[in-house]
Amino acid sequence: MNKHPTAPEGKTFLGIELGSTRIKAVLIGEDFAPVASGGFDWENRLENGVWTYHLDDVWAGLQASFAVLCEDYKQKYSKPLESIGAIGISAMMHGYLPFDKNDAQLAEFRTWRNTTTLQAADILTKECNFNIPQRWSVAHLYQAMLNGEAHVGDIAFFTTLAGYVHYKLTGEKVLGIGDASGMFPIDSTINNYNQGMLARFDQLAADKGMPWKIADILPKVLAAGKDAGALTPEGAKLLDPSGTLLSAGIPFCPPEGDAGTGMVATNSVAPRTGNVSAGTSVFAMLVLEKELSRIYVEIDMVTTPSGHPVAMAHCNNCTSDLDAWVRMFGEVIERMGHKVSKPALYDAVYFAALEGESDCGGLYSYNYLSGEPITEFEEGRPLFARMPDSKLTIANFSRALLFSTMATLRLGMDILTEKENVRPLQILGHGGLFKTKGVGQKLMAGALNVPVSVMESAGEGGAWGIALLAAYLAQKGKDETLEAFLAQKVFAGNEGTKVEPDPADVQGFAVFMERYVEGLAVEKAAVDNLK
């Protein structure tokens, strides 16, 4: 039976998120449940030593994912999608997209995955007395200045991927505060860029002869619920080239980054809440009651979509190496004359991990496809190793692959829990790592030694999160905060499924981590010698 036999007409909210491997579109109704969805797979490219995506691929993927969503809607309701109540755009945070006064792209899109801005990040962190990670937009900008790149003087505007897409659809050069906090430090007392740090950057840039001030080329900061413009006729044609489904005038919420939409999708926007997003990259975000006591280069300070300070432990590498092994297992099965679905293949590998020895039987696994700032790697080499007496079984191997997705995250989390005494009540998990029910969740609880909850909606991820922010824009009551809207309207009665840390997993992961830290010297040798 059709769950939504009556078409919701214009009482819908569209969220589109451009993730690292998939562009996903989700349409939700007034009850916040998805009514249609669409997707498009894509991959970053390593070109001339730079991790990038081509902007032509951005639009091809957006159009394809929206077209699939529209077809899904038509199949369910026997009529085309003709109107939408509000729209939101989300994408991978950070990175560098500079444009000149004519909107011409001045340099390749440099994504969060690049670790080529160490010099700039170190200088900015010292001068601003605030941790500026390598992947932040301002680090990319300043590194381009230090490199003497000719395009920098022509910059009229630079932004993130979400900010770029939003601008092309609405004409507005704005950014949600959560995404903006990955471009330049935010002052949560004013919900805007830190004015003192803006001035300090301009002082640093003075000897470079730039014709602009940093504040003039950054997008305007908007908190959740603020009006961020409306779909233009040009934007409607970009999203729907057929010109038959969308018309201009649909309101937009502020564009956000995947960190912010992850917080929303897991109702982790209030102090002492936290979440882990685990996909191509992995990051844990804890909403703070107070500022940290000092700077930690391993910890980012960002914000929720409403501006609360958030401590983020971010790792560039999570499931990519695991995915590669799973694909290879699938090839072996096909060579034996069998076919297996992708979900079944992942389930087999994940559930095998639950049968492995608690410490993975002495196996070593490093999932570093790219650099990893927390462990001070500018490049990565995927690496598996074992001792002569290690116990190589599929169960231990699967467990080692999964533990390796969490290992670097644990190093970052230890700073918050042990040095800053940050104690989250629980962590909510979302992303691909948690799709196989009960496995990633159980192992993550043991790895972080904190209860981990997963909601049924976790699989919808950031696209659902940005759709909720679009709904908040349209439905919020007078003076209703985002925290209240989510807690009382969206997630009321939905606590998710909680898993407490298993002592055996906690102890086994601790042993695995001892070996992991010792073996980082082997990973370093691989980077140095495998060219």
Query: What are the DSSP calls for 256-307, one per residue?
Result: EEHHHHHHHHTT--STT-EEEEESSSEEEEEE-SS--SS--TTEEEEE-TT-
Instruction: Kindly tell me if the per-residue pLDDT of 459 is higher than 60.
Output: no
Instruction: Kindly tell me if the per-residue pLDDT of 3 is higher than 60.
Output: no
Give the torsion sign (CA, 468, 474, 477, 479): positive
The beta-carbon contacts of 49-52 under 8 Å, at least 24 apart in sequence, are 49/116, 50/108, 50/110, 50/114, 50/116, 51/110, 51/111, 51/113, 51/114, 51/370, 52/108, 52/109, 52/110, 52/111
Instruction: Please tell me the least confidently modeled range out of 346-350, 429-433, 462-466, 468-472.
Output: 429-433
Give the contacts of 81 (CB within 8 A, at least 6 positions apart).
12, 27, 36, 69, 70, 73, 74, 245
283: pLDDT confidence band, cut at 50, 70 and 90? Answer: confident
Judge whether 216 and 173 are in contact, CB under 8 Å.
Answer: no
Give the contacts of 415 (CB within 8 A, at least 6 positions apart).
296, 298, 299, 313
Collapsing DSSP to helix, strand or coil, 310 comes out as strand
Instruction: Kindly tell me if the per-residue pLDDT of 137 is higher than 60.
Output: yes
E strand segments, 71-144:
86-91, 97-99
State the Cα–Cα distance between residues 81 and 285, nearest whole angstrom.
36
Average pLDDT over residues 152-179: 98
Q: Which residues of 34-44 are buried (b: 16+ CB within 10 A; e: fewer)?
A: bbbbbbbebeb
What is the CB neighbour count within 10 angstroms for residue 528?
Answer: 10
Average pLDDT over residues 224-239: 96
Kindly state the percentage of the chain with pLDDT values over 90: 78
Q: Is 307 left (phi over 0), alpha (psi -120 to 50) or beta?
A: left
Instruction: Kindly tell me if the per-residue pLDDT of 276 is higher than 50.
Output: yes
Instruction: Decide which of 38 and 461 is more confident.
Output: 38
Q: Which residue has the tokens 């370093």?
A: 524
Kindly state the percentage of the chain with pLDDT values over 70: 97
State the Cα–Cα distance between residues 419 and 422, nearest whole angstrom.
8
- How confident is the model at residue 246, as a pLDDT? 82
State the Cα–Cα distance between residues 281 and 18, nearest whole angstrom.
14
Return the structure tokens found at 9.
Answer: 């007409």
Average pLDDT over residues 202-220: 95
What is the CB neighbour count within 10 angstroms for residue 375?
Answer: 20
Average pLDDT over residues 445-450: 94
Instruction: Decide which of 531 and 123 is more confident.
Output: 123
Q: Which residue has the tokens 């730039």?
A: 210
430: pLDDT confidence band, cut at 50, 70 and 90? Answer: confident
213: pLDDT confidence band, cut at 50, 70 and 90? Answer: very high
Write the pLDDT tens digit of every residue in 138-154: 999 999 999 999 999 99
Return the structure tokens found at 247.
Answer: 């018309």
180: pLDDT confidence band, cut at 50, 70 and 90? Answer: very high
Write the pLDDT tens digit of every residue in 322-340: 999 999 999 999 999 999 9
342-353 vs 439-448: helix crossing angle, rounded to 10 = 40
Instruction: Kindly tell me if the per-residue pLDDT of 452 is higher than 90.
Output: yes
Instruction: Kindly tell me if the per-residue pLDDT of 426 is higher than 90.
Output: no
- How confident is the model at residue 1, as a pLDDT? 34
2: pLDDT confidence band, cut at 50, 70 and 90? Answer: very low
Write the pLDDT tens digit of every residue in 379-400: 999 999 999 999 999 999 999 9
| Nearest C-alpha neighbor of 95 from the set 18, 40, 201, 204 | 18
Average pLDDT over residues 223-230: 97
Instruction: Kindly tell me if the per-residue pLDDT of 458 is higher than 70.
Output: no
Q: Are strands 299-303 and 282-287 parallel, antiparallel or unpaired?
A: unpaired
State the Cα–Cα distance between residues 490 and 484, nearest whole angstrom.
9
Mean pLDDT computed over every residue of the chain: 93
Q: Which residues of 128-148 are buried (b: 16+ CB within 10 A; e: fewer)?
A: bebbbbbbbbbbbbbbbbeee
Instruction: Kindly tell me if the per-residue pLDDT of 404 is higher than 60.
Output: yes
Average pLDDT over residues 191-217: 95
Instruction: Decide which of 263 and 171 is more confident.
Output: 171
State the Cα–Cα distance between residues 343 and 347, nearest whole angstrom.
6
Average pLDDT over residues 73-96: 93
Bridge partners (DSSP) listed for residue 454: 497
Q: In whole angstroms, what separates CA 55 from the centre of its chain?
A: 19
| Nearest C-alpha neighbor of 452 from the set 432, 474, 424, 473 | 424
What is the CB neighbour count within 10 angstroms for residue 326?
Answer: 18
State the Cα–Cα distance between residues 347 and 237, nearest whole angstrom.
41
Write the pLDDT tens digit of every residue in 513-526: 999 999 999 999 99
Task: Sort 373 into a burial class: Cβ within 10 Å, 0-12 / 13-18 / 19+.
Answer: buried
How far from 342 is each of 293, 436, 493, CA to CA, in Å? 46, 11, 32
Domains belonging to the chain, first-starting first, are 13-266 (3.30.420.40), 320-454+501-529 (3.30.420.40)
How far the first Cα of the chain sits from its last, in Å, is 57
